Amino acid sequence: MDKFIISNGCALRITDTRKGDKTILLLHGYLESLDVWEDFTKLLSKEYRVVAMDIPGHGISQVMGEKHSMSFLAETVVGVLDELEIEKATIVGHSMGGYVALQTLRLHPERMDGIVLLSSTPNPDSPEKIADRDKEIALVEGGHKDLLATTAAKNGFATENLKKMQDEIIFLEEQVLVTEPEGVIALLRGMKEREDSNELLQNSALPQLFILGKKDNYIPLDKAEAMVAAHPQAKVVWLENSGHLGYFEEPEACAEAIKEFIK
């Protein structure tokens, strides 16, 4: 059931299954909302308490200023844990949600049982990626946010999965259309200024899991393999038939990887 709370001064929509000795906190990606986790939560909630939140600026959570830094978002995550009286959680971050999880690890490692980077990376934005984000900001500022809907959703899936994922593509396109332009821009600005988190992970004793799609259009296989090689301390699960949206493309395998990691 959806409910609204105030965390770090921001009005947020969250969901909470409430039951379970251990908690999983799900953080969605860019141009998404907590609604993407509805079916996935059911695969986890028999064994764990599952909390999801609309990251500020997306879904129907509040937009707080012109830039949502990763530090602001991390403090908001901790505020959710405080509000729900959760001491620690395993934080699962998809794509942008992984960046928020990493900053939470940097600022509040004591609030985490583990970190799962789901189609996400500890690398900072490259100059080329920063330029791409600036183009998206200009596009949204120019009133053309709808153009993001037609490209982002399809690019998230492996090419071979596009036909069977038509309903999910329509759903994700709708997610973009209902997101406030100011929220999109605030998060783009925050993402392009985030820190390099490779050393953070390498030096952390926190249990770490990478879940990566072998057919990801955003994190190509060669870059994913290089990331894995740089982090021998992390457990790795490859989704053989997934792109960037493994929780849609191979939900059972994705959920099982998280459950085994926690166990």
150 confidence band (pLDDT: 50, 70, 90): confident
Would you say residue 129 has pLDDT above 80?
yes
Nearest Cα residue to 10 out of 41, 50, 67, 55: 55
Give the CATH number of the domain where residue 31 resides.
3.40.50.1820
**Each residue's pLDDT tens digit, 8-33:** 999 999 999 999 999 999 999 999 99
DSSP bridge pairs for 114? 90
Distance between terminal CA atoms of the chain? 27
Residue identified by tokens 């939900």 is: 251
Q: What's the structural domain count of the chain?
A: 1
Would you say residue 1 has pLDDT above 90?
no
pTM here? Answer: 0.97
Mean pLDDT along residues 209-238: 98
Nearest Cα residue to 34 out of 65, 80, 67, 72: 80
Which residues span the domain enclosing 162?
A: 2-262
**Each residue's pLDDT tens digit, 31-62:** 999 999 999 999 999 999 999 999 999 999 99
**Each residue's pLDDT tens digit, 183-198:** 999 999 999 999 999 9
State CA 210 to chain mean position distance: 13
Mean pLDDT along residues 203-208: 98
